Amino acid sequence: MKRAAPADPKCPSTGSASDFLPRKIELPALAQAAAKCHGCTLYCNATQTVFGEGPINAIVMFVGEQPGDQEDRAGKPFVGPSGKVLDAALQEAGIPREKTYVTNAVKHFKWEPRGQRRIHSKPSSREIAACRPWLEAEIQVVRPRVIVCLGATAAQSLLGSAFPLTQHRGEVIKDTKWAPNVLATLHPSSILRLPDHDAREAARRSFVKDMKIVAKHLRAKPRRTESAPPGALVSEPSPKRGTAASRPSRAQPAKTRAAHHGRS
Ligand code: SF4
C-alpha cells in the first residue's frame, strides 16, 4: 500500500494502521491498540478513536464513513442522529440490533471549524487506506454473513474507488473476499441532510427497503460456500508486532473463536 509521507512534525504518522495492529487479532485487543493509532494524522484533531462495537457473533456488519461529532465525544459509533435513523430502519426491517456490529471505514472524526461548530470533512483516499487494517481485522474476527456499506466512503474502502454506488445501491454482491454478501446503500446522514420533509421521508423509505433486502439474506439458509475459509484478510503488521501465524484463522469454528475472545 502506498503510504503518506510524514508531513507535520507536531502530528507524526506512520502512514498505515497496520503498524499498530496487536499480536492477537481479537476485538478487545484491537480496540485497545486502535486507541493509540497514529496511522494517519486524523488522530491529532479528534477526541478519541471510535472503534466498532457489537458482538463477536454478529451476523451483519454495518460500515459507515467516520464518527460524527457526537460519536467523537462519546467514543462510540452510531450514537448520534445517524445512529437513530439506522436503529429505526433496523427495527422496521426486523433486524435485531443486538445481532449487529457497527463500525466505520475511518476511526477518527475528521472535521473543520465553522464558528463554534465542528463540521464533518470527508476523509481522503489515503486516510481511508491507512485506516483499513482496522476494518479488515474487525471483519476477520466477526466474520459477518452480510456487510452493509453505508455511503460512498465505506463502499470505496471495501469495493474499490471505482464502485458506482448510485447505480448499484441495494444490490447484493455475492462471495466477496470480505463476506458472502455485501450490499452498499446510502449513509443515514444523507437522509438527514435533505432539505424538505417529503424528500427525507422518501429517502428513509428507500433506506428501509434496502434493510429489508439485508434481512431477507440474513434469514436465508447459508449456502455451503459461505463456510469456506476466504483466506487471509488482514494487512501484515510490522514483523516486530507479530505475524499472521499468531492470529486466529477465519477458518476456525465459531465456538473456538468465541473462546479465544473470552465469550460464550
Ligand atoms: S483514522 Fe485510522 S489510521 Fe488514522 S489515526 Fe485514526 S485509527 Fe489510525
pLDDT digits (tens, 9 = 90+) for 46-59: 999 999 999 999 99
Q: Read off the pLDDT band of 10 (50, 70, 90).
A: confident
Atom of ligand 1 nearest to the CA of 34: 7
Q: In this structure, is residue 256 part of a structural domain? A: no
- Residues forming a β-bridge with 117: 114
User: Which residues have CB under 8 Å from 168's CB, separation 6+?
Assistant: 184
pLDDT in tens, 51-104: 999 999 999 999 999 999 999 999 999 999 999 999 999 999 999 999 999 999
Residue type, 46: A
Distance 251 CA to ligand 1 centre (A): 28
For residue 20, give the ligand 1 atom closest to its CA.
Answer: 8
Rounded to the nearest angstrom, the distance between the alpha carbon of 197 and the centre of ligand 1 is: 36
In a domain, 26, yes or no: yes
- Nearest CA, atom 4, ligand 1: 40
Q: Which residues of 123-136 are buried (b: 16+ CB within 10 A; e: fewer)?
A: beebbbbbbbbbbb
Residue 99, burial from CB neighbour count under 10 angstroms (0-12, 13-18, 19+): middle
Domain with 161 in it: 17-220
Pocket mutation for ligand 1, best pick of 3, 14, 30, 37 (most atoms within 8 Å of C-beta): 37
Q: Is residue 239 part of a domain?
A: no
CATH of the domain at 179: 3.40.470.10
Q: Which three cell numbers stand for residue 193?
A: 441532510
Beta strands in 151-233 (DSSP E): 172-174, 181-185
Q: Measured between alpha carbons, how far is residue 224 from residues 61, 117, 175, 255 in Å?
A: 21, 50, 11, 18
Looking at residue 256, its pLDDT comes to: 31
pLDDT at 192: 97
Q: Give the pLDDT band of residue 221 (cuts 50, 70, 90).
A: confident
Give the mean pLDDT of 11-27. 97
- Residue 30 falls within a domain, yes or no? yes
112-127 pLDDT, tens digit per residue, is 999 999 999 999 999 9
In a domain, 264, yes or no: no
| DSSP summary character for residue 45 | T
Grid cell 470480505 — which residue? 178
Q: What is the mean pLDDT of residues 152-176?
A: 95
CA–centroid distance, 90 to ligand 1, in Å, is 28
Please, what is the average pLDDT of the chain? 86
Kindly give, in sequence order, each residue whose CB lies less than 8 Å from that of residue 13, ignoring residues fewer than 6 positions away: 4, 6, 38, 39, 40, 41, 43, 130
Q: Tell which wins on pLDDT, 5 or 17.
A: 17
pLDDT bracket for residue 222 (50, 70, 90): confident
Q: What pLDDT is recorded for position 8?
A: 75
Contact status, residue 157 vs residue 105, Cβ threshold 8 Å: yes
Q: Is residue 231 part of a domain?
A: no
Domain count across the chain? 1
> Is 6 among the domain residues?
no
Q: What is the residue whose three cell numbers read 506512520?
A: 14
> 255: CA distance to ligand 1 center in Å?
31
CA of 39 to the centre of ligand 1 (A): 5
Whole-number Å distance, alpha carbon 6 to ligand 1 midpoint, is 14
Q: Assess if residue 241 is contained within a domain.
A: no
Q: Residue 50: which of 25, 24, 28, 68 has the closest Cα? A: 68
Mean pLDDT (whole number) for 180-194: 97
> In this predicted structure, what is the pLDDT of residue 245?
32
Ligand 1 is surrounded, with C-beta below 6 A, by 17, 34, 37-40, 42-43, 49, 106-108, 127, 130-131, 134
* pLDDT number for residue 244: 33
State residue 177's pLDDT score. 96
Examine the pLDDT at 32 and tell me if it is beyond 90: yes
Residue 260 pLDDT exceeds 70: no
Choose which residue among 131, 136, 138, 157 to substitute to test ligand 1 binding: the one with the highest number of ligand atoms within 8 A of its C-beta: 131
